Amino acid sequence: MKQTKIIMGMPITVEVITGATTASIEGVFKYFRSVDKRFSTYKPTSEISRINNGLPKSKWSSQMKLVFGLCEETKEATHGYFNINHKGKLDPSGLVKGWAVFNAAQLLLRTGATNFYIEAGGDIQVNGYNAEKSNWQVGIRSPFNTDEIIKIVQLGGQGMATSGTYIRGQHIYNPHHADEEIKDIKSLTVIAANVYEADRFATAAFAMGNKGIGFIEQMPGLEGYVVGADGIATFTSGFERYVVSNA
């Protein structure tokens, strides 16, 4: 059972091989809609927009406080390269998407689903096996030509996230030099134990520019693959164990 819907301004795909019901999959999409309603910086009625327009802390939801706490933890873990405060506005999008995909996976697990794939705008969480009873295979796109797959990796329960400026433009910034565009790299993919870890560290590592892959290398449990502005790819020492083929 597989469905794709546009939510949060992006395609979200849920594919469940075993244990799926129409209600459980719709429950996942309902959850993503609730996340969008609360965290979208594009919706003037969202909670994050109201916070940026002066909503007092006493009226913040527990979900918002939780996410802000996770963002602060990530800021500390990345030496300040993950920072949701940009030009006086708060934007936790660099963490929320992966966090939401991770939570959606937990929802499916609680309904009895065992083998499934969830993707939201390139952030991926898998569990178990695909329809061929093999590890899930996922492509990494070229940041120079999004129709081209440059690597195919296999995931057996991990999460994966890719950060870059080739689709949405310059939306990731180096907080230490916020007025300078990141020009030395084009995309950075991280594989981690789950998509939440992959997403938050991919965002921070991309903000580091060409130093980011070194940061991923020294982080336990993370593997990464970066494509430079010169088209040359660099990857961490354990990344190749996930590679199925060079497409």
By percentage, how much of the chain surpasses pLDDT 70? 96
1 pLDDT exceeds 80? yes
Model confidence band, residue 178 (pLDDT cutoffs 50, 70, 90): confident
Q: Do the Cβ atoms of 184 and 213 come closer than 8 Å?
A: no
Indicate whether 167 pLDDT > 60. Answer: no
The neighbour count for residue 148, using CB atoms within 10 Å, is 12
Which pLDDT tens digit goes with each residue over 187-213? 999 999 999 999 999 999 999 999 999
Q: What is the mean pLDDT of residues 58-78?
A: 98
Return the SS3 of 169.
coil
Q: What contacts 24+ positions apart, CB below 8 Å, involve 136-144?
A: 137/244, 139/247, 140/187, 140/189, 140/225, 141/187, 142/227, 143/186, 143/187, 143/227, 144/186, 144/231
> Alpha helices, DSSP H only, in 111-236?
195-207, 212-217
Residue 169, pLDDT > 50, answer: no
Report the predicted TM-score, pTM, of the whole model to 2 decimal places.
0.94
Q: pLDDT tens digits for 47-66?
A: 999 999 999 999 999 999 99
Range 221-227 average pLDDT: 98
Confidence of residue 165 (pLDDT cuts 50, 70, 90): low
38 φ/ψ angles, rounded to the nearest 5 degrees: -90, -40
Q: In the chain, how many domains are there?
A: 1
* Cα–chain center distance at 136: 17
**What average pLDDT does the chain have?**
93
3-class DSSP string for 89-125 = EECCHHHHHHHHHHHHHHHHHHCCCCEEEEEECCEEE
**Confidence label for 72 from pLDDT (cuts 50, 70 and 90):** very high
Task: Assign 179 a pLDDT band (cuts: 50, 70, 90).
Answer: confident
Q: What is the pLDDT of residue 247?
A: 55
Q: What is the pLDDT of residue 171?
A: 58
139/243 Cα distance (integer angstroms): 10
Which domain covers residue 96, as residue numbers? 2-245
Under the phi-then-psi rule, with left for phi > 0, alpha for psi from -120 to 50, and beta for the rest, what region is 206? alpha
- Measured from the Cβ of residue 129, the count of other Cβ atoms closer than 10 Å reads 17
Q: Inform me whether the pLDDT recorded for 246 exceeds 90.
A: no
Res. 180 pLDDT band, cuts 50 70 90: confident
Asked if pLDDT for residue 91 goes beyond 90, the answer is yes
Q: The domain spanning residue 120 has which CATH number?
A: 3.10.520.10
Amino acid at site 48: I
131 touches 169 (CB < 8 A): no
pLDDT band at residue 135 under the 50/70/90 scheme: very high
Q: 26-38: per-residue pLDDT in tens? A: 999 999 999 999 9
Helices 195-207 and 93-110, interaxial angle, to 10°?
A: 170
Cα three-residue angle 219-220-223, rounded to 5 degrees: 70
Closest by CA position to 187, among listed 238, 145, 151, 229: 229
